Structure 1
Amino acid sequence: MPFPNIDPIAIAIGPIAIRWYALAYLFGVLLGAGYGFLLLRNQRLWHRGAPPFPAKDIWDFAFWAMLSIVLGGRVGYVLFYNLPYYLQNPIEIINTLDGGMSYHGGMVGLMLAAIFFTRSKGGNWLSSLDLLGAVATIGIFLGRLANFINSELYGAPTTLPWGVVFPTDPLQVARHPSQLYEAVLEGLLLFLVIRVATHVFFALRKPGLVAGIFAIGYALSRIAVEFVRLPDEQLGYLYFGWVTMGQILSLPILLGGVLLVAYAVSRRDNPLRP
């Protein structure tokens, strides 16, 4: 299947060019904040009717969320994906135009921002992580679509009918559109699962449960897709000819998710009931 002719630059005005990747970050945060506002405003969804902070404060948090995602994503990429290069070229650390961002680093940065922001408001920080779990899938979905448009992070060669020939591929062979796999699994499907959990089973009433569901769902999806996604060229496969850095970084997320779910469901002071 040929690659759709989509220009990675969404808007160009003279020397100013805005890429779809940047818009994915921006709209991911804005749409996530909008959905988060609706969740925070619906107090009956939350433990004892108390969301982690007032709904109106989500717009203040959105600013800190954007900064934490960019900073955390960049630091994560530098540390985990190309540290030797950046130690030799430290000025390149601030050059985000090379596209080097780590989702796992962005996740850590966003979690820290949510915890500190919620503590400043006197709220339950576990509930703030639940809020992130409920809205983060929106940004993931848009980000993976932007990866597809950028013709980056594609998969291994395939003979499947939906294989895509990416213009940046030097071999020009059909490959798994792994970006779209992740958009569907980590974005759309996980959003629907969490939506059912929050609005049918009232999972937000058990602080930590939604965050745990998100962590488990994301980690399992990422580990699965990594089997058909090419690893970063500078790293390659790390162990046994198939283990990737993305899989290794997803393991502690999976473990953390299991622990959060176990903790949340074991609490007896916040039963799930309409």
Structure 2
Amino acid sequence: MPFPNIDPIAFSIGPIAIRWYALAYLFGVILGAGYGYLLLRNERLWYKGAPPFPAKDIWDFAFWAMIAIVVGGRTGYVLFYNLPYYLSNPLEIINTLDGGMSYHGGMVGLMLAAILFTISKKGNWLSSLDLLGAVATIGIMLGRIANFINAELYGAPTNLPWGIIFPTDPLAVPRHPSQLYEAALEGLLLFLIIRIATHVFYALRKPGLVAGIFAIGYALARILVEFVRLPDVQIGYLYGGWLTMGQVLSLPILIGGLILVLHAITRPVSKLRA
């Protein structure tokens, strides 16, 4: 299939070009905050009827979340994906125009911001991680769609009928649209699973459970897609040519998710009525 002719630049204002990639981050935070507001306002969903912080405070947190995602994402990319280059070119660390961002790093930054923000509000920090797990899939889906528009992070060659010939591919062969695989699995599917968990099984009443479900779902989806996604060229495959950095970084998330789920299901059930 030919690559759809989508300009990576959404629009321009004079010399300033606004890219879809930047808009994906912006709208991911805005839409995530909006959905988070609805969750926080519905107190019966939460353990003992107490969300991690008042719904009105989600917009304050959204500001810090944007900073945490960018700083964490950039730091993760520098440390794990291209550290020798940035040690030789330290000024390039703050140049995010090259698109060098790590989802794992952004996730860590967002978690730290949520924990600190919730502690300042005297709320349950585990519930704040549950809130992130419920809303983060929105940003992930938009971000992966933006990766597709940028024709980056594509997959290995394939003979499947939906293989895409990306304009940035020097070989010009059909490849797995791995960005869309991740958007569907880590974004849409995981959102639906968590939505069922929060509104049918009231998983938010067990602090840590939704965060654990998200971590497990994200890690498994990422590990699976990495088998057909090309690794970063400066790293390549690890440990004999079968493992990628994305899979390595997803393993601690998977383990952490399992720990959170086990912790949550061993706690007493909230006595709130549905």
The aligned runs of 1:1-274 (5 Å cut-off) are: 1-270=1-270, 274=274
**The residue matched to 2:151 in structure 1 has which SS?**
coil
Given that residues 142 and 183 in structure 1 are in contact (C-alpha distance below 8 angstroms), is that contact kept between their aligned partners in structure 2?
Answer: yes
Q: How many corresponding residue pairs?
A: 274
Q: TM-score of the superposition, structure 2-length normalised?
A: 0.99
**The residue matched to 2:186 in structure 1 has which SS?**
helix
After superposition, the Cα gap between the structure-2 partners of 1:239 and 1:53, relative to the gap in structure 1 and judged at 3 Å, is: same
Given that residues 207 and 264 in structure 2 are in contact (C-alpha distance below 8 angstroms), is that contact kept between their aligned partners in structure 1?
Answer: yes
1:270 is displaced (CA, Å) by 3.1
Given that residues 205 and 271 in structure 1 are in contact (C-alpha distance below 8 angstroms), is that contact kept between their aligned partners in structure 2?
Answer: no
Deviations 1:204-244 (A, max 9, x none): 00000000000000000000000000000000001131100
Which letter maps to 1:223?
A: I
Aligned mates of 1:270, 1:42 — CA distance in 2: 15
**The residue matched to 1:165 in structure 2 has which SS?**
coil
1:269 is displaced (CA, Å) by 5.0
Aligned mates of 2:139, 2:96 — CA distance in 1: 19
1:273 is displaced (CA, Å) by 5.8
Which letter maps to 1:161?
A: P
Which letter maps to 1:181?
A: Y
Q: TM-score of the superposition, structure 1-length normalised?
A: 0.99
Deviations 1:2-33 (A, max 9, x none): 00000000011221100000000000000000
Structure 2 segments unaligned to the other structure (5+ residues):
none
Aligned mates of 2:177, 2:273 — CA distance in 1: 41
**The residue matched to 2:224 in structure 1 has which SS?**
helix
**The residue matched to 2:161 in structure 1 has which SS?**
coil
Deviations 1:75-111 (A, max 9, x none): 0000000000000100100000111000000000000
Where do 4+ consecutive residues of structure 1 move more than 2 Å?
Answer: 269-274
Aligned mates of 2:169, 2:127 — CA distance in 1: 43
**The residue matched to 2:12 in structure 1 has which SS?**
strand
**The residue matched to 2:68 in structure 1 has which SS?**
helix
**The residue matched to 1:162 in structure 2 has which SS?**
coil
Aligned mates of 2:250, 2:271 — CA distance in 1: 30
% identity of equivalent residues? 83
Aligned mates of 1:144, 1:94 — CA distance in 2: 22
Which letter maps to 2:75?
A: V
Given that residues 48 and 271 in structure 2 are in contact (C-alpha distance below 8 angstroms), is that contact kept between their aligned partners in structure 1?
Answer: no
Aligned mates of 1:217, 1:271 — CA distance in 2: 28
Aligned mates of 1:140, 1:134 — CA distance in 2: 12
**The residue matched to 1:66 in structure 2 has which SS?**
helix
Which letter maps to 2:149?
A: I
Given that residues 49 and 272 in structure 2 are in contact (C-alpha distance below 8 angstroms), is that contact kept between their aligned partners in structure 1?
Answer: no
Aligned mates of 1:185, 1:271 — CA distance in 2: 33
**The residue matched to 2:241 in structure 1 has which SS?**
coil
Aligned mates of 2:116, 2:269 — CA distance in 1: 25
Cα RMSD, aligned residues only = 0.9
